[in-house]
Amino acid sequence: MGCGKRSLTTAAVALVCAVTVLSAPGMAYASPSAPTPTPAPTPPSGTTPKSAADLEEVREKLEKLYHEAAVATDAYNAAEEKTEKQSTQLVGLAREIVKGQAKLDRLQDRAGAAARAQYRGGGLPPDARLWLSDNPQQYLDGAGRVRQGEHATKGMLAEMTRTQKDLAQYTKDASAQWRRLEANRKAKAAAKKKIKQRIATAEKLESQLAAEEKERLAKLEEDAAHAAQTAWLSSGVLADINGKASPQGRKAVQYATAQIGKMYEWGAEGPKTYDCSGLTSQAWAAAGLGIPRTSQEQWRQLTHVDVRSMRPGDLVIYFGDASHVGMYIGDGAIVHAPRPGRSVTIAGAGSMPILGVVRPDK
């Protein structure tokens, strides 16, 4: 039993230490750093400027790359959130194992003492000890105490059994939690690798453009967003959107708009940089309401409302995979953190494909 006690306690302490390492700054919860941009090479003299069709192809490629990076960012953020919860749960389980082992040690010591006492008073059957006793009443009193002790011993043994079962279950749960923690660590690493690859590819593609071509590309992006917003407004949707912000909604909008100009950084939740869902989740936290960290979970867990019923503070979810989110601020506009290389800004609510609208405060 001593060896078993030591191994359980050692395992629990090891779990606490391991989780502490996983949650140390710079490990599980460190804000990821944006990849170092590739320096823009000087275009060779005599290079033929790209045609409008070529630049449109570049724009579409960039849009695809940054969208894939956004999807991977949501996966990274989800794994990060799960890792934090699982680390906390694992530490709790490890502490329960240590406490349970200490309790079992005490029960075993008490059981040993009771067994030794019974051994010292045993030997003859009860009726023989009664006849041989110099004081029968004293014997009977003692026998009553012995019966009480036997009942207490049975209760103690039952408690030992329960404690042993609890320890076995805690250990099983801790092992399962550790496996889930490791799986999420791998998911985070895979998502991080994909994000960096997509951003690096996009930056390399942009770096190959001349300054004049970059200006034309930016104009193409603006035109595409303006066309989408115009089409959305032409449906007459804005005439029906007249909801007033709730008190919490106003606070969330005030927080989000105060971040305008701060750079996008994947995995970031402020206060200096944000990704799209980092901005919206922190804005609502500032308003006193915790909401899911990722745009996909915001879409899945929060109350859905019709686009025509949205009000300032509501979250507009974009693309079929819910990979982007902005906050509606009124007058057909949102505030959002667009993508790497861009800062928090105001944009048309219809400038991207709308999946739906969710309301944090119902």
Which residues are marked as active site? 276, 324, 336
Q: Which residue has the tokens 């009942």?
A: 151
Whole-Å CA distances, 360 to 123, 252, 289, 311, 321:
74, 10, 8, 11, 19
Q: Are 41 and 205 in contact (CB under 8 A)?
A: no
Look at residues 284, 288, 290 and name the one whose alpha carbon lies nearest to residue 327. 284
Residue 309 is classified by DSSP as: G
- Residues composing the chain: 362
Contacts (Cβ under 8 Å, ≥6 apart) of 243: 309, 310, 311, 312, 314
Give the CA radius of gyration of the chain: 33
Look at residues 324, 327, 319, 316 and name the one whose alpha carbon lies nearest to residue 358. 316
Whole-Å CA distances, 252 to 111, 273, 284:
61, 17, 5
Q: Are 249 and 313 in contact (CB under 8 A)?
A: yes
**Residues facing 327 on adjacent strands:** 315, 335
Q: Are 357 and 306 in contact (CB under 8 A)?
A: yes
